[in-house]
Amino acid sequence: MTAAYHETSIPYVKEKYTVHNDMTQNTSMRLPVVLCLDVSPSMSLHNRIEDLNRAIETFYTELHNEPKALASVEVAVVTFSSGLEQNTGFEPLESVRGMRFSAVKQGGSNLPLAVLTSIQKIEARIAEVEEGGFDCYLPFLVLVTDGDPDRTASEESLREAVKAVQSHCVAARGEGQHLIAPYVIGVGEEVRRESLDPFAERFTGSAILINERNADRQRTLFQQMFSLIGASVRNSLLGEGDLGKLYERIRKDTMRQASDLIHRVRDVL
């Protein structure tokens, strides 16, 4: 099973060209976003999947009045349980509107496969855009999961996935690697932090946890976290100059605002 996680063994399907991503018709710089979402059966508990659906709509609302976002932001979706459930090409921001997900009836959480697929999609899209003679804004990976990686996923595959994420962060970026901002969100009380935190270690320091038993708090945290992600995407669009400095600014703002948000919601609700 380990071999399934190696870069060369995960097929990448070339994105279909639309008016949005055909660079002869849309010459804007691109900002790829991958939503990497756990849809395992436990996501149906405590309204998690419903709250996630509402939060994604909040992400869209945060950006849809920004002309630059409509021209540049493109979203791909990777959903996973024991395997990949969805693996879409990059589509315009407008495609997020009304997007809804459902939990599968049986399965686990193949986190390494989903994360590696997501990183490879971003890498491939950046290469495609650059081959067309254009640049990319800072890309985003948004990972949401509520459980442990599958017991069948080896520690080696998990380490490989963590390395793939960390190699795109400022502090550990490999030569020739593009920066990617990883937003890692753990949901519920069964998240194993020792598995999830390393994905966020070089960005927010640890995973952002939404582990509220209070339904109103959970719903509010979901929506406000995705509003924060939307605002960070907008900052990437507006940022100019050194991408490393922009990355650091977004990273520090996210750490501060996520912590403030969690404490504020708990105080109010």
pLDDT digits (tens, 9 = 90+) for 180-229: 999 999 998 888 889 899 999 999 999 999 987 788 989 999 999 999 99
- Cβ neighbors of 208 (< 8 A, separation 6 or more) are 183, 184, 185, 186, 200, 225, 258, 262
For tokens 């999947």, the residue is 49
Q: Which residues neighbour 239 within 8 Å (Cβ) at sequence distance 6 or greater?
A: 137, 138, 246, 249, 250
CATH number attached to the domain at 2-268: 3.40.50.410
On whether the CB atoms of residues 141 and 169 are closer than 8 A, the answer is no
Least confident of 14-23, 36-45, 76-85: 14-23
Rounded distance between C-alpha atoms, residue 83 and residue 229, angstroms: 26
pTM of the model: 0.88
Strands in the chain per DSSP E? 31-38, 73-80, 84-87, 91-92, 140-145, 181-187, 208-210
Give the chain's end-to-end CA distance (angstroms, integer).
45
Mean residue pLDDT across the chain: 86
Give how far the C-alpha of residue 6 lies from the chain's centroid of Cα atoms, to the nearest Å.
20
Is the confidence at residue 127, as pLDDT, over 80? Answer: yes
Grade residue 22 by pLDDT with cuts at 50, 70 and 90.
Answer: low
Chain CA centroid to CA 123, Å: 14
User: Which whole number is the average pLDDT over 91-113?
Assistant: 94
| pLDDT, average across residues 37-41 | 96
Q: Of 107-116, 159-168, 173-182, which range is least confident?
A: 173-182
The pLDDT score that the predictor gives to residue 24 is 75
3-state DSSP call for residue 29?
Answer: coil
The pLDDT value given to residue 171: 59
